[in-house]
Amino acid sequence: MVTTGHSAGGHLAAMLLAARWPAWEADLPEKLYRGAVAVSGIYDLEPLRHAPFLNCDLNLTLERVAALSPLYMKPATDAPLVTAVGELESSGFKRQTAELGLAWKDVLLKELVLSGDHHLNTSPRIADRDGPLFKATLDLLRT
């Protein structure tokens, strides 16, 4: 399987590559996912811990941030990762994408900055047959 996700879904896509699947269920393969495309994800939950309007529901502690942030984990396998972030997105999304790329450099297939895009229009780019995100996704599927 290959997965993709945008924003919180980008976080989940990275978490799927970090998961130690056999630890959850003995008959699951180590490499349950063959790759992921993570678009404009939140890979470090620490900033959310300091946002009272969010953390009142999330209840993030230092321990939970560490356990739920792919930035602080290693990929479980060699499954490739494509990341993308919009050129017009906030510095936080750009920073988190760059930091995940550095932390996961051994599996990072491609890191894209989508020209002219902001957080709300990056996700549909995966279906733009002439665009870089579509082409990077095809490259991932071919690995």
- Tell me the pLDDT tens digit for each residue of 76-128: 999 999 999 999 999 999 999 999 999 999 999 999 999 999 999 998 999 99
> Can you tell me the mean pLDDT for 67-73?
95
Indicate the CATH number for domain 2-142.
Answer: 3.40.50.1820
> Can you tell me the mean pLDDT for 16-37?
96
Among 48-52, 69-73, 118-122, which stretch is predicted with the lowest mean pLDDT?
A: 48-52
> Taking the alpha carbons of 19, 108, 132, 135 in that order, is the dihedral positive or negative?
negative
- The pLDDT value given to residue 53: 87
Q: Are 131 and 125 in contact (CB under 8 A)?
A: yes
Average pLDDT, the chain: 95
Question: At which residue do the structure tokens 């995940």 appear?
Answer: 100
- The pLDDT value given to residue 62: 87
Residue 32's SS3 state is coil
Give the tokens for residue 119.
Answer: 């957080």
Residue 35's SS3 state is strand
> Can you tell me the mean pLDDT for 25-41?
96
* pTM flag (> 0.85): yes
Split at pLDDT 50, 70, 90, the class of 48 is confident
